[in-house]
A and B are shown apart, each in its own frame.
Chain A
Amino acid sequence: MPSARVVKNRTEFEGKIYEELALVQGADIPAWSADAELRHVGRSRLRVDGPQRVSGRARYTTDLMLPGMLHARVVRSPHPHARVIRVDAKRALALAGVRSVVDRTSAPELFDEEVHYVGAPVAVVVGETEEIAADAAHLVEIEYESLPFVVDLEEAIADRTRVQRKESYSRGDARRGFREADIVVDARYTTSTQLHNCLEPHGAVAQWDGERLTLWESTQAMFDVRKGVAKAIRARLDDVRVICDYMGGGFGSKLGHGHYSEIAAVLAKRLGRPIRCVMDRREENLVTGNRSATVQRVRVGATKDGKLTALEHVAWSGTGTEDGWVASTTGPSNGLYEVANVRSEQFLVLTNTGPFSAFRAPGYVEGTFALESAMDELADKLALDPLALRRKNYAKLDPQSGKHYSLKRLDQCYSRGAELAGWSRRKAGGTAGRHAYLRRGMGVSTQVWGGGGGPPAYATIHLNADGTAIVRAGLQDIGSGTKTAIAQIAAEELSLPLERVRLSIGETDAPYGPASGGSMTTASLGPAVRLAAVDVRRQLLEVAAGLMEVRASEIHLTDGHAVAGRGGKKLALDEVFSKLQNYTVIGRGSRHPNPEDVRLRSFGAHFAEVEVDIRTGAVRVLKIVAVHQIGRIVNPLNAKSQVEGGVTQALGYAVSEGRVLDRLSGHVMNANLEDYKIPTVKDVPDIVVEFVPDLDRRANNLGGIGLGEPPIIPTAAAIANAVANACGARVRTLPITPARVLEALRR
């Protein structure tokens, strides 16, 4: 058995760097080389769980129906800020099928006396059916004392008590840098609150067996749910087991346990029956997280020939009632370009609205819109091609650490993207459309992100005598196809057909695995799975060598056979298995630390082509070209889907999505999918996806890093830049609505 040791590791997660200790075993192996002949990794494979998902057989948390299960429905505050004076549950309790109503007097651990946003929980009704619970929730009478509130971000920024400075960064001397500049762009950008609207709502089902709690939860982070719930209900960590077989999206909003998890756990224990607490679409839009609205000021200074001399980025992010953390909106400005003088500040702004949460590249999406819009405004002033300006300020070394990157092929993303988009057709001032009132334009924008992953992450593989391998890992598949990638990695080293690799994932009794967030799942867990498979292979070869009467070192696995030397004896693995009888080969693998001397980051460029109706202001996005660099692509088909999904979500952010608040009542006016406009199939343009083929062999033993978030990062700025190119309308506010285009045209 290999010995275990504790190592120090640096992992970048959601734009921030964390230093942690982790336990690893054995030694790592090098990444596959570019000319390695791989049969699974790097090839498009249909999703291993595709048939279950599309046929409705996949069981999600929301589908779970346990015998005797009760349904919990949360009664929520209609006030943005109020004190709860009295909760009268008499009428609700009188309804047949209602089992319990709890509020802060009967369950102080679940509720606060004061509510701080519309939708804050005030009471919970438990009923025999979902419908009974929902009906009874209307019958709970609550008396409130209204308190003053602010829901508008700009209004809150003006109130010093609501603003906290959370991050600041500088290098060089920004003041001096601006003095050296020939031209300065100084612009203010604002972005709207984006809602996740995952297909599967948030929710949990809790069941107790004595002191042991089993919690089914739609989550991106089973282990964090376990930790959070155990702490909240004062249970021992190993008394809480979290299960997440399938999930329908999280986008960052399911990275920890929810209030619903605590409700389910606490009330299931009290009532002695399983409890299901699943949010509806309105709750999804009010209480389960969102991307912060921002106000940002970007100043960029440059010499006449386009060399940046200074960059200043100040961001205010509305976090609702979340006062702990804020996303790194200024991250792209700190680290994308080679500019000697940088200063940035990140403020958190509290409002009486539902708490924000991580949302697919939190901060970077908002910040990239501002930075990459400002870069185009600068290019305009300098009469430079936007791409040329970006190339001029290309950072070969990581500007923050001074380190080399493990891989940086952003230049290739630019050149290949330009080719695919037909950038040479772009003209300053745009081109004509079919009618006099239609103008066409093109825009570009850049993506930088982390996603290198890191330890801790562990996997075991059990190879059984029937020739199937079972990969066991504390992994939840957020819906991005991680399962398939993991199966491909195992199949590769085991030389097995993909269908013979099974996955035992989705519960916390498994070896620890990372959250499905920060674009780091495959890059964290994949290398551990590969090592576990290598461990199995080594043991299997020892067995085969015995059967073939050769030394283990003389044989290798290929195409389902153990082969001795070149063209020597061959033994089918199936024969090995048949001789083994009741025998299990167990392999173990752990994720080793990241290299210290290089920075792991992914890069990409998006090119947008749009058509603008200058009379109605309507923007039609015709095409998005997305070229990304993440090193090794485990499954090209999956990777392409990931980019298409990211671009689509970014398209909504850019042109149609945004939470609408009523300043006077504090209510969300579009907390449903009828009024909150995510893109439909008719809105999604032609999306052209390509990847730089170079491997990131320093990153980890796969040679690649994560792709979950990169494709949502640059799109909005590319679209804004294309609109400006088409018709001269520089829209500095997202979403780019027709009215805003017209307003910008009038300027």
Chain B
Amino acid sequence: MEIERPRSLDGALAALAAHPGADLLAGGTDLMVEINFGRKRPEHLIVVQPLAELRDLDRNGAVRVGAGVTYTRLLAEGGGSFAAVREMARTVGSPQIRNAGTVGGNLGTSSPAGDALPVLAAFDATVVLRSRRGERRIPFADYMTGPKRNARAPDEIVVAAEWRDPGPAQTFLKVGTRNAMVIAVASLCLVVERARKSVRVALGSCGPTILRAGEAERFAEELIDESGWDEPLDVSEAAAARFGELVAAAARPIDDVRGSARYRRHVLGVMARRALERVGSVVA
């Protein structure tokens, strides 16, 4: 195994251009597990973890989170417009894993269970990729193409995720098989972007990619159309139940070691109702 430790992003891009498809090592919380379990034997490894260019976190105007930003750093961020990000970061692994794991790692691995991904999906984030050929910006919806598959070219590095601030009406919920150090059985991120009259809900661990629950989104938008986008939403029992049903219907879950498809669908409905009740009342 050949390991390269470039000192700059340009150096990393050059190394990747020379060895397209080489594995990129950031926090190592996915890759090292794969290697240690003998599931992966990369021939070429490029270490991007120390690169300063990937560590920017900018919240003035549009939000930009560098690929090398760890979950510990996200947890330290304040402010209502980062509420779901913080909620998500808190559920990632243990302190050690949060110290090492990065947003870019989640994007690179593109596991449907990647905790950050439903948040990026619900935020309508843009994935910023760079190669020696230049920079590409891809909407998250077009980025993830399947389980552990994405639109990144073999010579590209994920450098950041960007999104416009959707306001404070947002939440992230996750169900695992214990209270810490768990991969999600199911997760959900709900955003009500009042300024643009848009509701977005994204589901994790419930299909081959992060799924958006389009019908549920439109249902909620109609609800808020009636109650007013500047007013808190008082969700009726029936409306909450319907929203839950629509979210559950959008899932394409499977049975695995962590949980059954049936339970996943059920619990997504429960999380959706709770998320709507929680977020509906938040007005900037």
Per-residue 0/1 for B257-275: is the Cβ within 8 Å of any A Cβ (1 yes, 0 no)?
1111011001100110000
- Report how far A670 CA is from B177 CA in the complex, Å: 13
Question: What's the nearest-Cβ distance from chain B to residue A622, in Å?
Answer: 12
Q: Closest residue to B183 on the A side, CB-wise?
A: A674
- Given A616-B267, A660-B257, A738-B263, A682 and B175 touching (CB < 8 A)? no
- Report how far A670 CA is from B33 CA in the complex, Å: 14
CB pair A677–B177 under 8 Å, yes or no, is: yes
CB pair B33–A615 under 8 Å, yes or no, is: no
Contacting residue for B37 out of A617, A618, A672, CB 8 A: A672
CB of A656 within 8 Å of the partner chain? yes
Interface centre among B33, B37, B260, B267, by most chain A C-beta atoms within 10 angstroms, is B267
CB of A94 within 8 Å of the partner chain? no
CB pair B267–A679 under 8 Å, yes or no, is: no
CB pair B38–A680 under 8 Å, yes or no, is: no
Contacting residue for A742 out of B38, B175, B263, CB 8 A: B263
CB pair B180–A680 under 8 Å, yes or no, is: yes
CB pair A670–B257 under 8 Å, yes or no, is: yes
CB pair B270–A677 under 8 Å, yes or no, is: no
Question: What's the nearest-Cβ distance from chain B to residue A115, in Å?
Answer: 20
Per-residue 0/1 for A608-628: is the Cβ within 8 Å of any B Cβ (1 yes, 0 no)?
000000011110000000000
CB of A1 within 8 Å of the partner chain? no
Per-residue 0/1 for A673-689: is the Cβ within 8 Å of any B Cβ (1 yes, 0 no)?
01101011111000000
Chain A positions within 8 Å of B179 at CB level: 680, 682-683
Interface size on B, residues (CB 8 A): 22
User: Main secondary structure on chain B at its contact with chain A?
Assistant: loop
Contacting residue for B260 out of A282, A616, A739, CB 8 A: A739
Chain A stretch 728-747: residues in CB contact (< 8 A) with chain B: 737-739, 742
- Given A660-B257, A674-B33, A742-B263, A616 and B180 touching (CB < 8 A)? no
Per-residue 0/1 for B165-203: is the Cβ within 8 Å of any A Cβ (1 yes, 0 no)?
000000000010111111100000000000000000000
CB of A551 within 8 Å of the partner chain? no
CB of A29 within 8 Å of the partner chain? no
CB pair B178–A680 under 8 Å, yes or no, is: yes
CB pair B259–A739 under 8 Å, yes or no, is: yes
Per-residue 0/1 for B31-50: is the Cβ within 8 Å of any A Cβ (1 yes, 0 no)?
00100011000000000000
Contacting residue for B178 out of A617, A670, A683, CB 8 A: A683
CB of A175 within 8 Å of the partner chain? no
Question: What's the nearest-Cβ distance from chain A to residue B202, in Å?
Answer: 19
- Report how far A615 CA is from B271 CA in the complex, Å: 9
Q: Closest residue to B38 on the A side, CB-wise?
A: A138
CB pair B177–A656 under 8 Å, yes or no, is: yes
CB pair B270–A616 under 8 Å, yes or no, is: yes
Question: What's the nearest-Cβ distance from chain B to residue A5, in Å?
Answer: 55
Question: What's the nearest-Cβ distance from chain A to residue B279, in Å?
Answer: 16
CB of A550 within 8 Å of the partner chain? no
Q: Closest residue to A280 on the B side, CB-wise?
A: B36
Chain B positions within 8 Å of A742 at CB level: 263, 266
Chain A positions within 8 Å of B258 at CB level: 675
Question: What's the nearest-Cβ distance from chain A to residue B58, in Å?
Answer: 32
- Given A670-B257, A674-B33, A738-B175, A680 and B270 touching (CB < 8 A)? no
Q: Closest residue to A670 on the B side, CB-wise?
A: B257
- Report how far A680 CA is from B260 CA in the complex, Å: 23
Chain A stretch 481-522: residues in CB contact (< 8 A) with chain B: none
CB of A233 within 8 Å of the partner chain? no
Question: What's the nearest-Cβ distance from chain B to residue A130, in Å?
Answer: 13
Q: Closest residue to B266 on the A side, CB-wise?
A: A742
CB pair B263–A679 under 8 Å, yes or no, is: no
Chain B positions within 8 Å of A617 at CB level: 263, 267
CB pair A679–B178 under 8 Å, yes or no, is: yes
- Report how far A1 CA is from B213 CA in the complex, Å: 86
CB pair B175–A616 under 8 Å, yes or no, is: yes
CB pair B178–A669 under 8 Å, yes or no, is: no
Chain A stretch 647-676: residues in CB contact (< 8 A) with chain B: 655-656, 660, 669-670, 672, 674-675
Chain A positions within 8 Å of B177 at CB level: 656, 677, 737
Question: What's the nearest-Cβ distance from chain A to residue B260, in Å?
Answer: 6
Interface centre among A615, A616, A618, A737, by most chain B C-beta atoms within 10 angstroms, is A616
CB of B227 within 8 Å of the partner chain? no
CB pair B180–A682 under 8 Å, yes or no, is: yes
- Given A616-B175, A670-B257, A675-B258, A739 and B180 touching (CB < 8 A)? no
CB pair A656–B260 under 8 Å, yes or no, is: no
Question: What's the nearest-Cβ distance from chain A to residue B271, in Å?
Answer: 8
Question: What's the nearest-Cβ distance from chain A to residue B109, in Å?
Answer: 14
Question: What's the nearest-Cβ distance from chain B to residue A682, in Å?
Answer: 4
- Report how far A430 CA is from B262 CA in the complex, Å: 28
Question: What's the nearest-Cβ distance from chain A to residue B252, in Å?
Answer: 19
Chain A positions within 8 Å of B38 at CB level: 138
Question: What's the nearest-Cβ distance from chain A to residue B248, in Å?
Answer: 12
Chain A positions within 8 Å of B37 at CB level: 282, 672
Chain B positions within 8 Å of A672 at CB level: 37
Chain B stretch 240-260: residues in CB contact (< 8 A) with chain A: 257-260
CB of B8 within 8 Å of the partner chain? no
- Report how far A138 CA is from B259 CA in the complex, Å: 31
CB pair B180–A681 under 8 Å, yes or no, is: yes
CB pair B267–A738 under 8 Å, yes or no, is: yes
Question: What's the nearest-Cβ distance from chain A to residue B257, in Å?
Answer: 5
Chain A positions within 8 Å of B33 at CB level: 674
- Report how far A680 CA is from B180 CA in the complex, Å: 6
Contacting residue for A656 out of B178, B266, B270, CB 8 A: B178
Question: What's the nearest-Cβ distance from chain B to residue A743, in Å?
Answer: 9
Chain B positions within 8 Å of A669 at CB level: 257
Question: What's the nearest-Cβ distance from chain A to residue B91, in Å?
Answer: 11
CB of B94 within 8 Å of the partner chain? yes
Chain B positions within 8 Å of A739 at CB level: 259-260, 262-263
Q: Closest residue to A618 on the B side, CB-wise?
A: B175
Question: What's the nearest-Cβ distance from chain A to residue B119, in Å?
Answer: 20
- Report how far A377 CA is from B262 CA in the complex, Å: 28
CB pair A683–B180 under 8 Å, yes or no, is: yes
Interface centre among A138, A282, A742, by most chain B C-beta atoms within 10 angstroms, is A742
Chain B positions within 8 Å of A616 at CB level: 175, 267, 270-271
- Report how far A738 CA is from B177 CA in the complex, Å: 9
- Given A615-B270, A660-B257, A670-B257, A677 and B263 touching (CB < 8 A)? no
Q: A282-B37, A675-B258 are in contact. List 18 more A-B contacts (CB 8 A).
A: A615-B270, A616-B175, A617-B267, A618-B175, A660-B257, A669-B257, A674-B33, A675-B257, A679-B178, A680-B94, A680-B180, A681-B180, A682-B180, A683-B178, A683-B179, A683-B180, A738-B267, A739-B263
Q: Which residues of A contact B (CB under 8 A)?
A: 138, 282, 615-618, 655-656, 660, 669-670, 672, 674-675, 677, 679-683, 737-739, 742
Sorted nearest first, the 4 A-B pairs with minimum C-beta distance are A682-B179, A682-B180, A739-B263, A680-B180
Pairs across A and B, CB under 8 Å, 7 listed: A616-B271, A660-B257, A680-B179, A682-B179, A738-B175, A739-B260, A742-B263
Q: Which residues of B contact A (CB under 8 A)?
A: 33, 37-38, 94, 175, 177-183, 257-260, 262-263, 266-267, 270-271
